[in-house]
Amino acid sequence: MSEAMIIRGGHILDMASGTDTVGDLRIEDGRISGIGHVDLSGASDVIDAAGKYVVPGLIDFHVHAFEGGSMFGCDTDMEIPSGVTTAVDAGTTGCAAYESMHSLIHSRKMRIFSLLNISSMGQLGKGFNENMDPELVQAEKITELVKKYPDEIRGIKVRISRNIVGSWGDVPLRKAIETAGKLGLPVCVHSTDPCIPMEDVACILRKGDILCHVFHGLGSTILDEAGHVKAGLRKAHDRGVLMDAANGRNNFAFGVAREALAQSFLPDIISTDLTAATMSQGKTVRNLLFVMSKYLNMGMSIAEVVERTTAVPARAIGLTDGSGSLAAGGRADVAVLDLIDQECDFADSKKEILHGTKMLTCLMTVQNGQILYDSNQLAHA
Ligand SMILES: [Zn+2]
């Protein structure tokens, strides 16, 4: 019999299966083999999780992972001590440099998926925006890469800020949707200071597409002049367009987020938009737990926040191996978290500060049944 690990007596939150209960988790051969009252025999590790939250390994749906190939690129393994087991690179690379990105992905412990930039050059860094001439989109090369790496490339990314698309307007967005449509992939749209009104962007998107930076505060936002969430955004959401509150330094404003939450317009996904400049530093992003804590301090529940960093992002990129869930038989990606009383300041793109009193911390990260991080030596043979 193979050796098993038991995580005992934790508060299990698995929103994919609607599990919100105190119980045990049994892990064997990289899989969840039991949940609730589990068989304790043959366990090599018994981890006491009493008073802690046991959740699926977190999925950071928007990061910039192309370290060395883009000035935005960061070492996503640095998020492992934050309970993150899976990250999605949001268009740092286009097809020109994708083979390098592919090699880098396989040198990391973090499991990384990609949203391929519609622009061949991808996002090189601050001050070097990608060329958005739709005539330069290399659909054949994109198709070739998607067919070569179907388990890795899960969508197409396009940025439509006014300073990026210039006179092309919404043509690149339509081109991205057309290209992704032929490949059966979703489109993820960077929407800060959009070239057309936010409601028009939302209206163009299809079910399963992702509108990222949904709480940005530059140019046209999701709010009308009276501060109400625009009807077009609600309609798109009802159709199945996913709203991703990818944070970043410049893509999140408390003024927008607070109004939206007060009007029950919650994000579907919460992610960081981490870059080399924000990884583990500053008051805007730091890591996924920091961004999740921001929403707890704005009044969302831990179950709501966990769902948006596990079950929903797993669905958004079509993960079918049990990622984002703790259901028996699925892949054993698990995080043990604690919610502590801690004063903390959170900043937004307009330098507004939220004084928080709650902070999520991570005690253990398990990926595919292996302990990658154990802050307090919880595990013992
Ligand atoms: Zn980004």
Specify the DSSP element, H or E, that contains 13.
Answer: strand 4-14
Residue carrying structure tokens 């998607």: 146
Report how far ligand 1's centroid is from the alpha carbon of 61 (Å): 10
How far is Cα 272 from Cα 276, in angstroms, rounded to an integer? 12
Question: What CATH number does domain 57-316 carry, 3.20.20.140, 3.30.565.10, 3.40.50.2300, 3.40.50.10860?
Answer: 3.20.20.140
CA distances from 22 to 8, 45, 55 (A): 9, 19, 12
How far is Cα 13 from Cα 290, in angstroms, rounded to an integer? 19
pLDDT of residue 71: 93
Report how far ligand 1's centroid is from the alpha carbon of 135 (Å): 24
Report how far ligand 1's centroid is from the alpha carbon of 62 (Å): 6
Report how far ligand 1's centroid is from the alpha carbon of 23 (Å): 37
Report how far ligand 1's centroid is from the alpha carbon of 113 (Å): 14
Report how far ligand 1's centroid is from the alpha carbon of 60 (Å): 12
Report how far ligand 1's centroid is from the alpha carbon of 207 (Å): 21
- C-alpha gyration radius of the chain: 20
Report how far ligand 1's centroid is from the alpha carbon of 192 (Å): 10
How far is Cα 243 from Cα 205, in angstroms, rounded to an integer? 11
Report how far ligand 1's centroid is from the alpha carbon of 45 (Å): 38
Report how far ligand 1's centroid is from the alpha carbon of 179 (Å): 20
pLDDT of residue 380: 62
Report how far ligand 1's centroid is from the alpha carbon of 248 (Å): 7
pTM of the model: 0.97
Q: Considering only CA atoms, which of 191, 197, 160 is closest in space to residue 176?
A: 160
How many Cβ atoms sit within 10 Å of the Cβ of residue 127?
A: 6
Report how far ligand 1's centroid is from the alpha carbon of 234 (Å): 23
Question: What ranges do the domains of the chain cover?
Answer: 57-316
pLDDT in tens, the chain (381 residues): 568 999 999 999 999 999 999 999 999 999 999 999 898 888 889 999 999 999 999 999 999 999 999 999 999 999 999 999 999 999 999 999 999 999 999 999 999 999 999 999 999 998 889 989 888 889 999 999 999 999 999 999 999 999 999 999 999 999 999 999 999 999 999 999 999 999 999 999 999 999 999 999 999 999 999 999 999 999 999 999 999 999 999 999 999 999 999 999 999 999 999 999 999 999 999 999 999 999 999 999 999 999 999 999 999 999 999 999 999 999 999 999 999 999 999 999 999 999 999 999 999 999 999 999 999 777 764
Report how far ligand 1's centroid is from the alpha carbon of 90 (Å): 6
pLDDT of residue 39: 87
pLDDT of residue 133: 87
Report how far ligand 1's centroid is from the alpha carbon of 371 (Å): 29
Characterize the bridge pairing of strands 153-159 and 334-347. unpaired
Intra-chain end-to-end CA distance of the chain, in Å: 17
Report how far ligand 1's centroid is from the alpha carbon of 308 (Å): 17
Residue partners of 140: CB distance under 8 A and separation at least 6: none
Report how far ligand 1's centroid is from the alpha carbon of 330 (Å): 29
Instruction: List the beta strands (DSSP E) in 144-216.
Output: 153-159, 187-190, 210-212
Sign of CA dihedral 308, 313, 314, 316: positive
Report how far ligand 1's centroid is from the alpha carbon of 140 (Å): 25
Report how far ligand 1's centroid is from the alpha carbon of 200 (Å): 21
Report how far ligand 1's centroid is from the alpha carbon of 24 (Å): 37
Q: Considering only CA atoms, which of 156, 152, 159, 153 is closest in space to residue 181?
A: 156
Report how far ligand 1's centroid is from the alpha carbon of 285 (Å): 12
Report how far ligand 1's centroid is from the alpha carbon of 272 (Å): 8
One-letter identity of residue 50: A
